[in-house]
Amino acid sequence: MLVIEMVGRIPEETVEEVRKTADITDVIGEHVQLKKQGRNYFGLCPFHGESTPSFSVSPEKQIFHCFGCGKGGNVFSFLMEKENWTFIQAVEHLAARNNIALPEKSQTVTEREDDGAQRILEAHQWLAKLYHHFLVNTTEGKEALQYLTERGYSRETIDTFNLGYAPDKPDVVATFLEKKGYHPQEMVKAGLLSETDSGGYLDRFRGRIIFPLRNHLGKTVAFAGRTLGEGQPKYLNSPETSVFHKGKLLYNFDLARGYIRKQNRIVLFEGYADVIAAYQADIGASIATMGTSLTPGQAELMKRYSEKVIICYDGDKPGIEASVKTAKELQNAGIHVFIARVPDQKDPDEFIKTEGGDRFKREVIDTSEPFVGYLMRYYKNQFNLQVEGDRFEYLETVLREVAKLERGVEREYYLQELSKEFSLSMESLKEEMEKWKPEANTGTPRHQSWRKANDKESRASSGNKPRRAFHNAERRLLAYMMKDTYIAEVVKQEISASFNIEDHQIIAMQLYAYYEENELMNTSEFLESFSEDRLRNLVTDIASIPLTPEVPEKEIEDYLYQVKREKWKKENTNHLHKEMKEVEKQDPIRAAEIAMQLLQENRGWKSRK
């Protein structure tokens, strides 16, 4: 197979292990916002500009396919196309993501060139283990462990989030890292050590409880340290490095990602403690920003996974103002935003600890309200509605927000609220709102756009011209052959690889060869039989055709008839038509005989059907 040639330095069985472990929906979901429809997921294609989602991902077959541009493949080919990686780089990335060991010699040139970043990443992994060990297994960490336990953190939570403690000794970490082969100056650059005026080296986080900050692959890339006593600053974070960019990452995103996809919502908190408390309250889709304001990049990342975000910040005035600011950033990214209000000006962590997780879910998260409704109440506290000028300014401010709403029913609802409260006509409010309405809201309704992806199978990917009957028959035959070995054997006996389209012949031959070595079809693995992108795209296109669960024998017979008839027409009819045209002037009798032969042959094909 092609895999052996391309992998070279990585054993084929290891590649298969990586392929089986990597879930294509999860991997592609990091780049494309996917929405489930039936058995597949759909989204906007990342390889060409489109406003109507035609990009399909099949978890069952572990393949992707775009009905618009025709690209398709498995998890490896997606990363190769999207990231411009080699096959080996894609395998190595997925192996690292799923903790699968690869031979040392498989390291790529790119990784060797970026050895500095790799060493920093490795140092963080070692140090995260050391800090956790000090917290749970040593006398030095006893006070920190007691503090966390009193705060309500279970041992399971401490282990899940790999919480740690940095002993209040100046040279423990520096010595540890040096024994692991890391130069102190290198670790100063990594933000793990501090250099003294006398030229010595100290642990940056000494005497603090450690919260490891992981990237979206679950690798520790930085730390946040909290003092046990009254020392300042209360929190100390790692500086930005080649592996840590706080404006791009979201705390706990690696653990929350699965919950987010299942629940189709995100709960966004301000701090690490809030996320951990929410996790213990069984709110798994919880994440937080890395101690900064939400960035457009973080908003875009969230949108890829869910269209709904519940903001749950502190209930005090700064928390409310931060909620509004964050909500506007999320709304600009096209996300449906809800606000969860924590009563009595408490923060989420405090509320969960005093009132319990069940009450927090029931009274805070489950009662979250749409952002515009929340905003209307928020702005009422910013304006004096007894003053005419403030009333007009309030109305204009709210109408701007209402105009951004994608769903017409929501816009109508809030306009009616304003109409009742201020005794204004709906017509005048709609007219004013139209001034602020973004062009995006006048496009194709979202529920219609998702439906269109399923209407393209019967048309050629290059345009709207329908395929001929035999062409569709061959495609559907191949689709059933990839689904069922029995059908593949029937087709093999009937027509072997004598399809009318050359690419279909190639696919059929590869399919027969594949079934000689494998009892069942693994579409993702089968794709590696083809070296050309054109053929891989075609295979994923055919594999994406929706089929009936049971074998439709009459349908298969009809497809075989269409293929055979077209084959006969190509081999005989065209030749007879040409001969008839050549002799009709010189030998009318021979021309009539040919015409009769064509008529009889045509009747014969119809009778066979």
Q: Answer with the residue of higher pLDDT: 251 or 592.
A: 251
Q: 164-198: b or e for each residue (b if 16 or more CB lie within 10 Å)?
A: bbbbeeeebbbeebbeeebebebbbebbbbbeeee
CA distance 308 to 290: 20
Q: How confident is the model at residue 461 (pLDDT cuts 50, 70, 90)?
A: very low
Position 132 scores a pLDDT of 96
CA distance 380 to 345: 19
Q: How confident is the model at residue 447 (pLDDT cuts 50, 70, 90)?
A: very low
Neighbour count for residue 82 (Cβ, 10 Å): 16
Q: Answer with the residue of higher pLDDT: 42 or 581.
A: 42
Position 206 scores a pLDDT of 92
Position 5 scores a pLDDT of 40
Q: Highest mean pLDDT: which of 30-39, 105-114, 302-311?
A: 302-311
Q: What is the pLDDT of residues 506-554, one digit of tens each?
A: 899 889 888 888 878 888 889 888 888 889 889 998 988 888 777 678 8
3-state SS record for 299-327: HHHHHHHCCEEEECCCCCHHHHHHHHHHH
Q: How confident is the model at residue 385 (pLDDT cuts 50, 70, 90)?
A: confident
**Backbone phi and psi for residue 281, each to the nearest 5 degrees, phi listed first:** -90, 15
Extract the runs of DSSP E, i.e. beta strands, from 71-229. 72-73, 164-166, 193-195, 201-203, 208-214, 220-227
Q: Which two structure tokens, joined as six digits, stand for 304?
A: 């890829």
Q: Is the pLDDT of residue 146 over 90?
A: yes
Q: Highest mean pLDDT: which of 46-55, 106-115, 361-370?
A: 361-370
Neighbour count for residue 73 (Cβ, 10 Å): 23
Position 6 scores a pLDDT of 40
64-89: average pLDDT: 88
What proportion of the chain, given as a percentage, has pLDDT over 90? Answer: 31
Mean pLDDT computed over every residue of the chain: 83
Q: What is the pLDDT of residues 323-377, one digit of tens each?
A: 999 998 998 888 899 999 998 888 999 999 999 999 999 999 999 999 988 888 8
Q: Answer with the residue of higher pLDDT: 552 or 480.
A: 480
372-386: average pLDDT: 84
How many whole angstroms from its chain centre is CA 520?
28
CA distance 158 to 150: 13
Which segment of 177-191, 192-206, 253-267, 454-468 scores lowest on mean pLDDT?
454-468
Extract the runs of DSSP E, i.e. beta strands, from 49-110. 55-58, 63-66, 72-73
CA distances from 129 to 91, 187, 529 (A): 26, 16, 42
Which residue's entry shows tokens 């990363």? 79
- Look at residues 93, 113, 98, 29 and name the one whose alpha carbon lies nearest to residue 64: 29
Position 78 scores a pLDDT of 92
Position 143 scores a pLDDT of 95
What proportion of the chain, given as a percentage, has pLDDT over 70? Answer: 85
Position 574 scores a pLDDT of 53
Classified as helix, coil or strand, 535 is: helix
65-83: average pLDDT: 89
Neighbour order of strands in the sheet with 208-214? 164-166, 208-214, 220-227, 235-237
414-432: average pLDDT: 88
Q: What is the pLDDT of residues 238-252, one digit of tens each?
A: 999 988 988 888 999
> Which residues does 52 contact at the CB level (< 8 Å), separation at least 6?
68, 444, 449, 452, 453
Q: What is the pLDDT of residues 127-140, one digit of tens each?
A: 999 999 999 999 99
Position 111 scores a pLDDT of 46
Q: Is the pLDDT of residue 457 over 60?
A: no
Q: How confident is the model at residue 100 (pLDDT cuts 50, 70, 90)?
A: confident
Q: Answer with the residue of higher pLDDT: 51 or 115.
A: 51
Query: Is the separation of the CB atoms in 351 and 342 below 8 Å?
Result: yes
Sort strands 220-227 and 193-195 into parallel, antiparallel or unpaired.
unpaired
* Omega cis (within 30) before 212: no
Q: Is the pLDDT of residue 443 over 50?
A: no
365-393: average pLDDT: 86
Where does residue 241 fall: left (phi above 0), alpha (psi -120 to 50 degrees), or beta otherwise? beta
Q: Which two structure tokens, joined as six digits, stand for 306?
A: 């869910």
Extract the runs of DSSP E, i.e. beta strands, from 158-275. 164-166, 193-195, 201-203, 208-214, 220-227, 235-237, 250-251, 266-269
Q: What is the pLDDT of residues 161-204, one digit of tens each?
A: 999 999 988 789 999 999 999 999 999 999 999 988 888 899 99
